[in-house]
Amino acid sequence: MTTVHPPCPVVRTSEDGLALSRIVAGMWRMGEWRMAPQQRVTFIEQCLELGVSSFDHADIYGGYGVETLFGEALALQPSLRERMQIVSKCGIKLKSTARPAHTIQHYDTTAEHIRASVDNSLKALRTTHLDLLLIHRPDPLMDFDEIAETFEALRAAGKVRHFGVSNFTRHQFECLHRRIPLATNQVEFSPLHLAPMFDETFDGLQDKGVAPMIWSPLAGGRLFGDDAAGAPLRAKIRQVAAETGRPFASVVFAWIMQLPSAPIPLTGSGRIEAIAEAVEATRFTLSRQQWFEILRAARGHEVA
């Protein structure tokens, strides 16, 4: 008998009404997946069948090329757009042959650049709107009032429905959040990168009722490595995986999602099997002892 699993659930990131799938498909490496346009359509359809309806982009991904690859797939199957949420980011200017005017890598969060980035993303993605736009990195020259006013204008124009940030500190997030409601702060977090758990990032978001998005939840694949320093953590995750009867990666995703700030992890793989393992994490919960065993192995010492 074939077991039919429920699809990935949907979660509201904040009171502003944005709903994302509990697992988000990260498109950062799509250019490395060497998929033909129809293969990209198939991959998107498979994600949607799993309930993974949210897709994470940035203008700079793939040397300013990934949004175009995704847009080519949507052009082949336009009806897919109605079934998904598209997230993108802006604010970094890379040195790239695609942007010959950029002579130094730097940040730009001016109104002019944000507006131009959104227009470029909409054109590349072949869509009329973004569901969520994030400022990619904190800019030392960012003007919170200017960003908020620009966001409001983009919403009024129908080009972007919700706004957020990425890699912001708690204070930076709250400075902008006071001016315009933000839906999320996308940050790096994994058992190998615990900073947001202890630097008030997650505490602050929980206090505001905002769910963080998580990039690199598997530490860029380092959790699957063979370095001696990471051996105790890998052994503990394997032990919990055996106890729960779940895949290694599923245990890591479940561990992350158990935090009360309700983190929303991104995947980074073009293998649908890897996406399915992430979705599997939405179907079980670790015991409190298992959760702290992984934390202890990650930190290398007991809690105080």
DSSP 170-211: HHHHHHHHTTS----EEEE-BTTB-HHHHSSHHHHHHHHT-P
Q: Do the beta carbons of residue 115 and residue 155 sit within 8 Å?
A: no
Provide the token pair at 173: 């997030």
Among this protein's residues, is 107 annotated catalytic? no
Which tokens go with 158? 């129908």
Contact 264, 288 (CB under 8 A): no
Strands 85-90 and 54-56: parallel
Coil/strand/helix, residue 88: strand
For residue 199, what are its two tokens?
């630097």
d(CA 224, CA 218): 8
- Cβ-based neighbour number of residue 250 at 10 Å: 21
Token pair belonging to 9: 């659930």
Between the CA atoms of 71, 76, 78 and 80, what dihedral angle is there, to the nearest 10 degrees? -80
Contact of 108 with 97, CB cutoff 8 Å: no
Q: Which of 152, 265, 138 is nearest to 211 (CA)?
A: 265
* 28, 43, 61, 255: the active-site residue: 61
What amino acid positions are annotated as catalytic residues? 61
